[in-house]
Amino acid sequence: MFERPDSGERAVLVHVFFPDGAGQEDLQEFTELVDSAGAIRVATVTGTRAAPEPKLFVGRGKAEEILATVKRHEAELVIFNHSLSPSQERNLEKLLSCRVIARTGLILDIFAQRARSFEGKLQVELAQLKHLSTRLIRGWTHLERQKGGIGMRGPGETQLESDRRMLNARIKVINHRLEKVERQRNQGRRSRQRADVPTVALVGYTNAGKSTLFNALTGAEAFVADQLFATLDPTLRRVDVQGFGPLVLADTVGFIRHLPHDLVAAFRATLEETCKADLLLLVVDSQDEQKREHIEQVNAVLEEIGAQDIVQIRIYNKIDLGDDEPRIEYDENGKVERVWVSAVTGAGLDLLGSALTEHFQGRQIHGWLHLSPEAGSTRSSLYNIGQVLSEQVDEQGSWWLEVCMAQRSIDKLLRDADGLCTFHSEDSVDFVAGTAQAS
């Protein structure tokens, strides 16, 4: 019988090139994933095949080469940049006498390290259990036999059956808890909808700078690191956009090439913030040579979770690392299509605020708000959200506030002011010696 070996951190990486498109960029991303997991890369074995070998995934000769590499570097772990079947993992572990994990197992390990919230930990455990449920027989073939002998015969239950039963029971418990979390999220979402507060979700390829941008816009302290999947748990914060008002910004888990379907299913509650958003900000690393491919991968995942029809604005981040200037680009219909920013230096963030206002309410209107002396609370709130450009006071003690706001925000303000506020266009107000006259 084969006893499963102890785990370790010294890893040999295995990547196989196939004619269907797995290329050098996959290998580079693979090494970044391994580094994010905290493993020590001691060697990388590559090869080329027309198709995976059913028993060992790689050919017998390549498997012997991997074995020699493991022994030479005293490696304790072999990581494949591919999906392996349970039987392939088991056969490889028998041959190599060390632990073997596939790409899915590697990503699960990273997720387990990153999860901080209760919901995130539940989702990681759910994905791990579903992954483990098909691999219970790995290294434990002796457990599939029922006990026999005098006094021990009977219906019985094998150890594997018992483990599967406990796994299924735990999966049901986790699904029940996640449903409760989902109901709480839906309640909060309905409250935002009643208050007419839109939700904007940051999506994009992992390590594109979403969390840095999120912190720059909200003042939050979400974890930021130059590594893949630095952010796992969804974070929501309220943002007051000048000229528009409040909105909710959601930071979500980054996507990646060939994201396993099981992980997408397990993290459906997290990704639901993306599916229910009013607008998606697709954050792109403007300096990445593979940004086009990464955009395609993100859109493929969005389609898989049913968010392909939500309006997108592409945010080209990290312009401080190149020669690009902050700017807004429009499509042929005059709608905002791309915004170029730097989340680190803050360049272009004011343009991003203008783009959000234009998207939700159209272009901003420059004019004057006339507030009666009884509208002091309205004046205070306008100052708090930074919408006042200048102020004049007339002889009656009324305020004239110069603002640049979206039409929808102005209409809402006038409704809430209950007659204590009026709006006048820029050209219809004349100021003479501290007095204002509306023509």
> How far is the C-alpha of 348 from the C-alpha of 326, rounded, in Å?
5
Structure tokens at 332: 């042929």
Structure tokens at 88: 């392939």
* 8 A C-beta contact, residue 284 and residue 317: yes
Average pLDDT, the chain: 79
> How far is the C-alpha of 227 from the C-alpha of 32, rounded, in Å?
7
Among left, alpha and beta (phi > 0; psi -120 to 50; other), residue 377 is: alpha
Tell me the average pLDDT across 178-191: 77
Among left, alpha and beta (phi > 0; psi -120 to 50; other), residue 281 is: beta
> How far is the C-alpha of 298 from the C-alpha of 308, rounded, in Å?
10
* 8 A C-beta contact, residue 73 and residue 43: yes
Please, what is the angle between helix 86-96 and helix 60-73, to 10°? 50
pLDDT per residue as tens digits for the range 84-114: 888 898 899 999 999 898 888 888 888 777 7
pLDDT of residue 174: 86
Cα 138 from chain centroid? Answer: 32
pLDDT per residue as tens digits for the range 39-50: 899 999 998 888
Which residue has tokens 């986790």? 174
**Closest among 25, 88, 43, 103 to 262, alpha carbons compared:** 103
Tell me the average pLDDT across 51-66: 92
pLDDT of residue 5: 42
Determine which of 124-133, 255-264, 274-283 has the lowest per-residue pLDDT on average.
255-264
Per DSSP, helices labelled H in 118-158 are: 118-133
pLDDT of residue 159: 65
| 235 pLDDT above the threshold of 80 | no
Please, what is the angle between helix 349-361 and helix 407-417, to 10°? 70
Rg (CA), the chain: 29
* 8 A C-beta contact, residue 200 and residue 212: no
What is the full DSSP assignment across 18-75? Answer: -TTS--HHHHHHHHHHHHHHT-EEEEEEEEE-SS-BTTTBS-HHHHHHHHHHHHHHT-
| 154 pLDDT above the threshold of 70 | no
pLDDT of residue 7: 46
pLDDT per residue as tens digits for the range 395-439: 888 888 888 777 777 777 788 777 888 888 766 666 543 455 554
> How far is the C-alpha of 247 from the C-alpha of 414, rounded, in Å?
20
- φ, ψ of residue 348 in degrees (nearest 5): 85, -5
**Closest among 402, 279, 251 to 336, alpha carbons compared:** 279
pLDDT band at 234 (very low <50, low <70, confident <90, very high): low
Domains of the chain in start order, with CATH, are: 10-101 (3.40.50.11060), 196-361 (3.40.50.300), 364-438 (3.30.70.240)
CB burial string 36-67: b at 16+ within 10 A, e below: bbebeebbbbeeeeeebeeebbbeeebbeebb
pLDDT of residue 146: 47
3-state secondary structure (DSSP) of residue 239: strand
| 340 pLDDT above the threshold of 90 | yes
> How far is the C-alpha of 135 from the C-alpha of 119, rounded, in Å?
25
Structure tokens at 325: 């200037």
Number of Cβ atoms within 10 Å of the Cβ of 30: 22
Tell me the average pLDDT across 347-357: 89
Tell me the average pLDDT across 73-79: 91
* 8 A C-beta contact, residue 354 and residue 364: yes
- φ, ψ of residue 64 in degrees (nearest 5): -65, -35
Structure tokens at 363: 């272009």
pLDDT of residue 352: 92
Q: pTM score > 0.85 for this model? A: no
> How far is the C-alpha of 400 from the C-alpha of 385, rounded, in Å?
17
Q: Is 257 exposed, middle or buried (0-12, 13-18, 19+ CB in 10 A)?
A: buried
Tell me the average pLDDT across 121-126: 80
Biggest distance spanned by C-alpha atoms of the chain: 110
What is the full DSSP assignment across 77-104? Answer: EEEESS---HHHHHHHHHHHSSEEE-HH
pLDDT band at 66 (very low <50, low <70, confident <90, very high): very high
Amino acid (one-letter) located at 300: A
